[in-house]
Structure 1
Amino acid sequence: MTDPANPGPHPDPHAPAITLPAGACDAHCHVFGPTDRFPYAGRRSFDPPESPLDNLQRLHRILGLDRAVLVQSAVHGHDHSALLDALAAGAGRYRGVALVSPTTPQAQIAAWHRAGVRGARLNFVSHLRPHPGPDEVDAIVRAIAPYGWHIAVHVTGDGIVAYADLVRRLPVPVVIDHMARVDLREGIDSPAVRTLRRLLDTGSVWVKLSAADRIATAPPSLADAAKLAALLAETAPERVVWGTDFPHPNPNFVPDDGDLVDLLTLIAPDPSRRRQLLVDNPATLFDFP
């Protein structure tokens, strides 16, 4: 049964007004199901409608995106079958981010790496519990470090402030998902935004300029989220990537993905910066060929 709070993506997204450069990457998206092949986890905190790989590929054709990073969702738990199936179908055009635990066998991580996984996600948001403790984080980092993977950190509100010291001490690249899902009602110069920018200044932290629809304070307007994304892109243009967050789980509202692409004219107005954001940076971070 579908959760009414998760209605699914926009049914008819428009083609964007801008043309994206060849090799452009959606650096954060998901596949859900189909559940007859890839059942949802029995214990899950949300229940989105199915959105299999075909839906994602159709969207990317409309938007003009050639590459993608598929992030394992908690809705599938630690069963990565849907993710691995999508990576195989991508034939090198897709990369993955897994949910790794301290008990994940090293042979499993090696197999995921061969399949195209290049990161492990740590969830520190209220509806995705339990949060990993320091010992668990250290064990996960030790497991993935030999493969050159990054750690993706998912926080919300003032979580980036609470976990800033953890981020600083990690000995692998760190990617902050969704602009840290800061509370923009506190303004563009809030402690959370200042902390996020200081982390970017360390040289080992990246930020995904994704989920504008989640942090915008007055949807359907996404202007304040775009302003934050532009600020972060200016802070560290070589360490930001962009993504749709399709199919938009747990949305405040359902955005038109064509609108999300058109925001790029505000986030990275210069075409060379746009290419860096969409092509060059993802190739570096996610090890695209």
Structure 2
Amino acid sequence: MNMPTQESRDGLAAPHSAGQGSPGFELPTGACDCHMHLFDNRLPFASNAVLVHNDASADDYQRLQRRLGLARNVIVQPSSYGRDHRVLLAGLRALGPAARGIAVIDPDVSDEELSLLQAGGVVGVRFNLVQHGATDESMLEAVAQRIQPMGWHLQLHLHGQDLLRLADRLADLPVPIVLDHFARVHADGALASQISEQVEHLLDLGSAWLKLSAPYIASGDRPGYPLLHPFVQRLLRSHSDRLVWGTDWPHVTEANKPDDARLLDLLARWAPDALLRRRILVDNPCRLYGFAT
């Protein structure tokens, strides 16, 4: 795949992202954004949607990809659409084999829908217990049983207290789990130490992954997020094979959109070694999402 050079990317703008510059380092070939969303306001939001957003199309996102030097991506079904996957599947068709999808289902999903989702590029399902909607914790085991034969994983966005409360159940699930947004480690400062220890324990078990995405959700100390630094450094030393990175574009929770190039620069600060960054941006996503190496 011929990606633009850093010089040619400078000066590119993309919707829902501040700034126009490129990251301060050259991304490795095949770099993957493992957490982003699409929105199409021609289709209705779920009646109980907590967060909504204006249009954020596949074309819009590809402008961001070109600016940053990204080659692959994972479209995460936003809670805003509930279990209506029309925007997700259209996005997967538009972005092609370099994209994967994360759906939202309940235990009563039909085999036909699961097959349709899998054929479209879906490789996992999400539980969002922060912006409640189509899923709740009572469904965890039943949904895991449904997706186990597909080889899918279960992705979770959890408040810190819920992660601590549900940790044993998550460890017992028969599928891999992926924790969103740094596990919101510093969203509640009083729980940060416990959450950090629990994340490390789940990663130790070998079936959990963590997304380095949306630092503004995990910690309030922007723009440099120094509170996240020791947490990420520990995980880079002990579990670099269980970490993936994502933009969280179009940054639905943020009225003032961040500069995605500067968010990428955080990764270079935490992982100054190019081989380590390649593991997080390329090798680990290939293993988790089934991209060709």
TM-score by length of 1: 0.90
Distance 1:170 1:273, change over 3 A: same
Which of 27, 30, 33 is the equivalent residue of 1:23?
A: 30
The root-mean-square deviation of aligned C-alpha atoms, in Å, is 1.9
Distance 1:109 1:82, change over 3 A: same
By how many angstroms is 1:13 displaced?
4.0
Amino acid at match of 1:73: P
Amino acid at match of 2:203: L
Q: Does 1:70 align with 2:94?
A: no
Q: Is the 8 A contact 1:200 1:235 kept in 2?
A: no
By how many angstroms is 1:226 displaced?
4.1
Distance 1:224 1:99, change over 3 A: same
Q: Does 1:230 align with 2:233?
A: yes
Q: Does 1:132 align with 2:132?
A: no
By how many angstroms is 1:45 displaced?
0.9
Partner of 1:266: 269
Q: Does 1:159 align with 2:166?
A: no
Supply the distance in 1 between the matched residues of 2:113 and 2:98 (Cα, whole angstroms): 21
Q: Is the 8 A contact 1:188 1:228 kept in 2?
A: no
By how many angstroms is 1:212 displaced?
1.0
By how many angstroms is 1:78 displaced?
1.1
Partner of 2:217: 214
Amino acid at match of 1:26: D
- Segments of structure 2 that go 5 or more residues without pairing to the other structure are 1-14
By how many angstroms is 1:44 displaced?
0.9
Q: Does 1:121 align with 2:115?
A: no
Q: Is the 8 A contact 1:212 1:226 kept in 2?
A: no
Partner of 2:99: 94
Partner of 1:199: 202
Amino acid at match of 2:243: V
Q: Is the 8 A contact 2:18 2:260 kept in 1?
A: no
By how many angstroms is 1:131 displaced?
5.1
Higher relative contact order (CA closer than 8 Å, sequence separation 6+): 1
Moved over 4 A (4+): none
Supply the distance in 1 between the matched residues of 2:277 and 2:191 (Cα, whole angstroms): 22
**Share of identical aligned residues, percent?**
36
Partner of 1:3: none
Amino acid at match of 2:90: D
Q: Is the 8 A contact 1:213 1:252 kept in 2?
A: no
- SS of 2:97's equivalent? coil
TM-score by length of 2: 0.89
Distance 1:216 1:59, change over 3 A: same
Supply the distance in 1 between the matched residues of 2:286 and 2:108 (Cα, whole angstroms): 30
- Segments of structure 1 that go 5 or more residues without pairing to the other structure are 1-7
- SS of 1:91's equivalent? helix
Supply the distance in 1 between the matched residues of 2:18 and 2:230 (Cα, whole angstroms): 27
Supply the distance in 2 between the matched residues of 1:55 and 1:223 (Cα, whole angstroms): 31
1:98-119, Cα deviation, whole Å (9 max, x unpaired): 0011121111111111111000
Partner of 1:59: 64
Q: Does 1:255 align with 2:255?
A: no
1:215-253, Cα deviation, whole Å (9 max, x unpaired): 232222323234433332322111110001111111385
Between Structure 1 and Structure 2, how many residues are aligned?
A: 278
Q: Is the 8 A contact 2:186 2:227 kept in 1?
A: no
Deviates more, 1:66-75 or 1:43-52: 43-52
- SS of 2:160's equivalent? coil
- SS of 1:248's equivalent? coil
By how many angstroms is 1:138 displaced?
2.1
Q: Is the 8 A contact 1:214 1:252 kept in 2?
A: no
Supply the distance in 1 between the matched residues of 2:144 and 2:58 (Cα, whole angstroms): 29
Supply the distance in 2 between the matched residues of 1:180 and 1:265 (Cα, whole angstroms): 20
- SS of 2:175's equivalent? coil
